[in-house]
Protein backbone atom coordinates (compact mmCIF):
# COMPACT_ATOMS: atom_id res chain seq x y z
CA UNK A 1 0.00 0.00 0.00
CA UNK A 2 1.10 3.58 -0.54
CA UNK A 3 2.32 5.32 2.61
CA UNK A 4 3.29 8.89 3.37
CA UNK A 5 6.35 9.41 5.52
CA UNK A 6 6.91 12.11 8.11
CA UNK A 7 9.48 12.90 10.76
CA UNK A 8 8.22 11.29 14.00
CA UNK A 9 9.33 14.29 16.09
CA UNK A 10 8.32 17.25 13.94
CA UNK A 11 5.63 15.76 11.69
CA UNK A 12 7.28 17.27 8.59
CA UNK A 13 6.49 15.43 5.36
CA UNK A 14 9.41 13.32 4.10
CA UNK A 15 8.01 11.59 1.02
CA UNK A 16 6.10 8.49 0.04
CA UNK A 17 6.75 4.80 -0.37
CA UNK A 18 5.02 1.43 -0.70
CA UNK A 19 4.83 -0.82 2.38
CA UNK A 20 2.92 -3.86 3.61
CA UNK A 21 -0.20 -2.90 5.57
CA UNK A 22 1.11 -4.43 8.81
CA UNK A 23 4.31 -2.37 8.62
CA UNK A 24 2.30 0.88 8.40
CA UNK A 25 0.30 0.06 11.53
CA UNK A 26 3.49 -0.45 13.54
CA UNK A 27 5.48 2.53 12.22
CA UNK A 28 5.68 5.86 14.04
CA UNK A 29 6.61 7.98 11.02
CA UNK A 30 4.19 6.68 8.40
CA UNK A 31 0.51 7.03 7.57
CA UNK A 32 -1.89 5.99 4.82
CA UNK A 33 -3.50 9.46 4.95
CA UNK A 34 -2.37 11.49 1.93
CA UNK A 35 -1.04 14.99 2.57
CA UNK A 36 -2.88 17.97 1.04
CA UNK A 37 -1.67 19.82 -2.03
CA UNK A 38 1.22 22.06 -1.05
CA UNK A 39 0.87 25.82 -1.51
CA UNK A 40 3.79 28.23 -1.82
CA UNK A 41 5.11 29.18 1.60
CA UNK A 42 3.47 26.23 3.39
CA UNK A 43 4.64 22.72 4.25
CA UNK A 44 2.60 19.65 5.22
CA UNK A 45 2.99 18.62 8.86
CA UNK A 46 1.32 15.47 10.20
CA UNK A 47 -0.51 15.98 13.48
CA UNK A 48 -0.44 12.62 15.27
CA UNK A 49 -3.00 13.77 17.84
CA UNK A 50 -5.67 14.58 15.23
CA UNK A 51 -4.34 11.99 12.74
CA UNK A 52 -4.35 14.48 9.87
CA UNK A 53 -2.08 16.72 7.82
CA UNK A 54 -1.98 20.47 8.31
CA UNK A 55 -0.41 23.05 6.04
CA UNK A 56 1.88 25.15 8.18
CA UNK A 57 3.35 28.46 7.01
CA UNK A 58 7.11 28.09 6.76
CA UNK A 59 7.55 30.95 9.25
CA UNK A 60 5.62 28.95 11.88
CA UNK A 61 7.58 25.70 11.67
CA UNK A 62 9.15 26.12 15.11
CA UNK A 63 5.67 26.24 16.68
CA UNK A 64 4.46 23.23 14.66
CA UNK A 65 7.44 21.08 15.64
CA UNK A 66 6.62 21.40 19.34
CA UNK A 67 2.98 20.42 18.78
CA UNK A 68 3.82 16.80 17.93
CA UNK A 69 5.89 16.04 21.04
pLDDT tens-digit map of 7-58: 999 999 999 999 988 877 778 999 999 999 988 899 999 999 999 999 999 8
The answer to whether residue 2 scores a pLDDT higher than 70 is yes
**pLDDT recorded at residue 21:** 81
Domain count, the chain: 1
First to last CA, the chain: 27
Handedness of CA 8, 34, 16, 42 (dihedral sign): negative
Q: Which range marks the domain in which residue 38 is found?
A: 2-67
Query: How many angstroms separate the CA atoms of 67 and 69, rounded?
Result: 6
**pLDDT recorded at residue 23:** 79
**pLDDT recorded at residue 14:** 96
CA distance to 32, 33, 34, 49, 65, per residue, from 11 (Å) = 14, 13, 13, 11, 7
Amino acid sequence: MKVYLFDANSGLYEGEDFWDTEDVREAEGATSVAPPMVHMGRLPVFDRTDHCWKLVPTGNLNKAVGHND
